[in-house]
Amino acid sequence: MGFAVTPEFLLVFSVMAPFMGALVAPYLGSWLKARAGYPLILCFVPTLFLIPYAPAARSNVPLEAGFDWVSAIGLRVDFRADGFSLMFSLIVAAIGILILAYAAAYLGKTERHGRFYSYLLSFGGAMLGLVLADNLIALFAFWELTSISSFLLIGFWGSRKASQDGAEKALVITALGGLALLVAVILLSIAGGTQQISELDLATLRSSPLFIPALVLLLIAAFTKSAQLPFHLWLPTAMEAPTPVSAFLHSATMVKAGVILVAKFGFLLDWGVFSLVIMYVGLATMFWGSYLALRQNDLKALLAYSTVSQLGILMSLYGSGHAFAATAHLVNHAAFKAALFMVVGIIDHETGSRDISKLSGLRRKLPLTFIVALPAALSMAGLPIFGGFISKELFYEGMVHEGFLPILIAVTGSIMTFAYSLRFLKVFFGPFRCENPNVHEASYRLWLPAAPLSLAVIAFGILKINPLKGLTFKSDTLAVWFTGLAAPSFGYEAEHLYLWHGFNLALGLSVLTWVLGVLLHLGRDRFHRVQQALTPAWNNNTIYYKSLAGLEHFSSWFTHKTQGASFATHLRIIVATFGLIGATVLWRYWPAQLTGVPLAFWLVALLILADVVGVLSATNRLSAIIFAGLAGVASTLLFVLLSAPDLALTQLLIETVTIILFLSVFRFLPRLSTYLRPRSLTLLDGLISLGVAATLFTTLVAVQTPIADRIKDFYLDYSKSIGGGYNVVNVILVDFRGYDTMGEITVLSIVAISVFALLKIAVKRAKAESQDDQIS
C-alpha cells in the first residue's frame, strides 16, 4: 500500500516543513556554507502545493486539518486555510523562497550559516503557523515563536552593540504584546466557550463582560507587533539584522502579524470606538513613519521607517472596514518592500555604504540593480502603471468615506511617501559618487531573487490572469486574483482593478500628491532644517531608554532594601505568601468531604499534631528525634486504617531507618543552643505554618477531582493478567514502574554510600584530632 498525501496532511506539513528544515539546517550549513540556502528552499515548497485548493477557498470552502495536542484537556492544534490565510501563506512561502536564494549569495564565508538558516526557517514556519492557526492557544504559541526567532535573527551579529540593542528592544516590546495576547485568548476562550477561532460567536462574546477587556488586549498585541504608535520604535532598530532577514521581516512576516491579528478578528473589532481607534492610530503611524523616513540618510533606515508608515496604512484600512483596499495594499507592499531591501543589500554589498549623501549615479555601475529597483520604488511612491498606484487609489477612496480629517492625514502622509521614494532613487541618478571607485554590477545570484518581486508590482497593475486558462486579457488582474481569494474571509466582493477610472476625487488627490511630493523632494534641505528645529529633546527612544534605566534603578533599590534582610525573614515572606493562598481558599471553600471523615482518622491526626508540637517544644536533640519518629510511626496508622498493611510496614521501616540514621550522627552534631526571640515572632511563625498546612491540604483536596480518569482502574484490572500478582502495590513497584523503582533504589544507594563515606571521613578526622590533643 502506498502513502497517499491527503489535503489535510499537506496543510499540516506546509507548516511543519520549515521547522523540520530548521533542524537540518545546522548540518547543511556546516557542509554547504552559504549555499545551504538553495536546498532549504524545499521547506517552503509544500505551501505552494496548496494553490490547487484556492478555488475552494474562494468559494468559502476552506481546507481544515488538525491534531490533538493534549487530548486530556481538549487542547488541539488546528489549521484552517480560508481565503485570506491561504493568500498570505502563499506570500510568505513565495518570498521565503526568494529570501533563501538571496541569502545563499549574500552571506559571507565566515558567517554561522547553519544557525542563520535554522533561525530563518523557524521564523518562516512560525509565521505560517500564525496565519493558518484556527485555535487560540496555537495562535498564541506561533505568535511567541515569531518573537523569539526574530530576536535571534535581529541579534544574529551579537558582537555589535546596535544588534544587541535592536534585538533587546524588539523582544521587550513584542513580549509586552505577547502577554496581552495571552490574556486576550484566555478571555476569548472563556467568553466564547470555545478555542476555535472559526467557531467564535459574536453575539455570545458581546454578551460577556470579558469582551471589552479582550478587545483592548488584542489591540495592544496588534499595535506592538505591527509597530504602531507609540510602539513603533523597535522596528527601525531591527534593521541591524542581516539584509535577508530585514527583507523577510519587513515584507511578509513578523511586522504583518499585528495586521493579520486585526484582519482575523475584524468581526470582533469592527465595533464602535474600536474601529475609530484602529483607524486613527494607523493614520497617525502612517504620517509619523513617513515624516521620520524623510530624515534618514541610511537607505535601510529609510525603508525601515517606510515600513512603519505602510503598516499604518494597512492598519487604518482593516480597522475602518475597507478590507478590499487593505488586502490589495498588503499584497503590493509585500512585493515592493522585499525587493527594495534586497536592492539595498546589493548596494551595501557592492559599494560598502548605505549613506545616501555619499552615493549617486549608481545606475551606471549597477544597471541591472537599477532596473530591479525602479518599479519597486515607483510602486512604493504610488505611480501608475504599478500595483502601488492601484492600492493607493483604493486607500484614498476609503479615507474619503471616513471624513475630512482621515483623508487629510492620508494625503499628507502620501506626499511624504512620494518624496522619500524619490530620495531612495536619488542614489541611482546624477554623477557617479562613491567612496569605493571599484563598484561593479552584483552577481546574478543577488539581483535575480529580487527581479520576480519587481516584476510582480508591474503585474499587479497591468498583467491579467485567469487561474483556469492561464494568461489572458479578458479576466481579472493578478491583484484581483489575490484579493478575490481573500474575499470570503471578509465578505466583500472582489472588484475589478483598473489603472484608469476616469477623472475622480481619488485621481485628483493622487495628482496633488505627486506635485507636492516632487516639490517636497526638491526642497528637502529646507524641510530638513524645519524638522531639525521641531525636533524635541525627547522622543520615544529616549522615553524607552530612560524607562529601562529607571526600571533598573528601581530594581536595584528594591533588591537592596529587601535582600538585606536575614535569611529567616526571606523564608517567612516566601512561605507566608504560599500559605496565604491556601488559607484563603480553605476559608472560602471549606470542602464538604471533611464531614464524612471517620473519628479514627481525626484521632491519628491529633496524635501527629501532638508529636509535631513535641518536636517544636523539645529542649534537646534526643527529644526532638523521638517526637519526630513518633510522628512518622503515627502516620503508619493511616495506612492501617486504609487497609494497606504493606504500605504501613514500608513506612514503619523507613521511619526506623531514619531514626537510626539520626542517632548515628547524633554525637557529631553541636549542642542545641537556646534561640531567644519575641513571643510575637513565634506566634507569627505558627500562623505561617498553619497557612502552609492549609495550602497543602487544599491542594490534596483539589486533586481528588482529577482532570482525567484515574489510572488506578487500569492497575486493578491488569495487575494479575499482566503483572502476575494480586498485590497491586508490589506489582506497580516491580513491574509497571520497574525502571522507576530501580532508579529510586540506585539514587538511595548512591546517597547511602555517600553518607557512609562522609561518616568515615568524619570519624578519621575526629580520631586524628583526638591523637593531636593527646600529643600536645
- Rounded average pLDDT over 750-774: 80
470-471/63-70 β-pairing: unpaired
- Rounded average pLDDT over 14-28: 91
Cβ distance 520 to 413 under 8 Å? no
- Rounded average pLDDT over 532-538: 78
- Rounded average pLDDT over 511-523: 90
pLDDT band at 273 (very low <50, low <70, confident <90, very high): confident
Q: What is the pLDDT of residues 101-121, one digit of tens each?
A: 999 888 877 778 888 899 999
State the Cα–Cα distance between residues 109 and 115, nearest whole angstrom.
13
Check residue 596 and give its pLDDT. Answer: 65
pLDDT band at 378 (very low <50, low <70, confident <90, very high): very high
Nearest to 341 by CA among 440, 475, 480, 246: 246
Check residue 472 and give its pLDDT. Answer: 39
- Rounded average pLDDT over 693-709: 68
Q: Is the pLDDT of residue 479 over 70?
A: no
Check residue 641 and give its pLDDT. Answer: 84
Check residue 475 and give its pLDDT. Answer: 36
pLDDT band at 285 (very low <50, low <70, confident <90, very high): very high
- Rounded average pLDDT over 309-332: 89
Check residue 469 and give its pLDDT. Answer: 42
Residue 298's DSSP bridge partners are 355
Mean pLDDT comparison of 59-73, 207-221, 588-602, highest-scoring range: 207-221
pLDDT band at 542 (very low <50, low <70, confident <90, very high): confident
- Rounded average pLDDT over 346-375: 88
Q: Is the pLDDT of residue 745 over 80?
A: yes
Task: For residue 714, give the amino acid letter.
Answer: F
pLDDT band at 495 (very low <50, low <70, confident <90, very high): low
Alpha helix (H) residue ranges in 441-539:
444-447, 451-462, 478-490, 505-522, 524-534
- Rounded average pLDDT over 728-751: 81
Sign of CA pseudo-dihedral 338, 251, 319, 85: positive
pLDDT band at 410 (very low <50, low <70, confident <90, very high): very high
pLDDT band at 667 (very low <50, low <70, confident <90, very high): low
Alpha-carbon distances of 418 from 8, 463, 519, rounded to whole Å: 45, 24, 10
- Rounded average pLDDT over 277-283: 92
Q: Of the ranges 50-59, 188-197, 436-445, 714-723, which one carries the lowest mean pLDDT score?
A: 714-723
Check residue 408 and give its pLDDT. Answer: 93
Check residue 37 and give its pLDDT. Answer: 86
Task: State the virtual CA torsion across 314, 317, 319, 321 in degrees, nearest 10.
Answer: -140
- Rounded average pLDDT over 628-632: 83
Cβ distance 370 to 298 under 8 Å? no
Going by the DSSP 8-state scheme, the letter that residue 722 receives in this structure is T
Cβ distance 211 to 267 under 8 Å? no
Check residue 757 and give its pLDDT. Answer: 85
CA 552, distance to chain mean position in Å, is 24
Mean pLDDT of the chain: 82
Check residue 498 and give its pLDDT. Answer: 58
Q: Is the pLDDT of residue 323 over 80?
A: yes
75-81/465-466 β-pairing: unpaired
State the Cα–Cα distance between residues 483 and 493, nearest whole angstrom.
9
Check residue 465 and give its pLDDT. Answer: 41
Q: Of the ranges 211-215, 273-277, 648-652, which one carries the lowest mean pLDDT score?
A: 648-652
- Rounded average pLDDT over 542-546: 84
Task: Specify whether the backbone of 250 is left (phi greater than 0), alpha (psi in -120 to 50) or beta.
Answer: alpha
Q: What is the pLDDT of residues 606-620, one digit of tens each?
A: 888 888 888 777 777
State the Cα–Cα distance between residues 475 and 749, nearest whole angstrom.
80
Q: What percent of the chain has pLDDT over 90?
A: 20
H or E stretch at 67: strand 63-70
- Rounded average pLDDT over 376-392: 86
Q: Is the pLDDT of residue 564 over 70?
A: no
Q: Is the pLDDT of residue 587 over 80?
A: no
Q: Is the pLDDT of residue 69 over 80?
A: no
Cell numbers found for residue 321:
472596514
Check residue 623 and give its pLDDT. Answer: 79
Widest distance between CA atoms in the chain: 116
Q: What percent of the chain has pLDDT over 70?
A: 90
Q: Is the pLDDT of residue 314 over 70?
A: yes
State the Cα–Cα distance between residues 28 and 112, nearest whole angstrom.
11
- Rounded average pLDDT over 24-41: 88
Q: Is the pLDDT of residue 97 over 50?
A: yes
Check residue 245 and give its pLDDT. Answer: 87
Task: Specify whether the backbone of 498 is left (phi greater than 0), alpha (psi in -120 to 50) or beta.
Answer: beta
pLDDT band at 368 (very low <50, low <70, confident <90, very high): very high
Alpha helix (H) residue ranges in 524-676:
524-534, 540-563, 567-588, 599-617, 621-641, 645-664
Q: Is the pLDDT of residue 281 over 90?
A: yes
Environment class of 221 (CB within 10 Å of its CB; exposed 0-12, middle 13-18, buried 19+): buried
Q: Is the pLDDT of residue 417 over 90?
A: yes
- Rounded average pLDDT over 197-208: 83
Check residue 464 and give its pLDDT. Answer: 46
Q: Of the ranges 126-135, 150-159, 402-411, which one carries the lowest mean pLDDT score?
A: 150-159
Nearest to 634 by CA among 612, 613, 607: 607
State the Cα–Cα distance between residues 61 and 759, nearest whole angstrom.
75
Nearest to 627 by CA among 607, 652, 649: 607
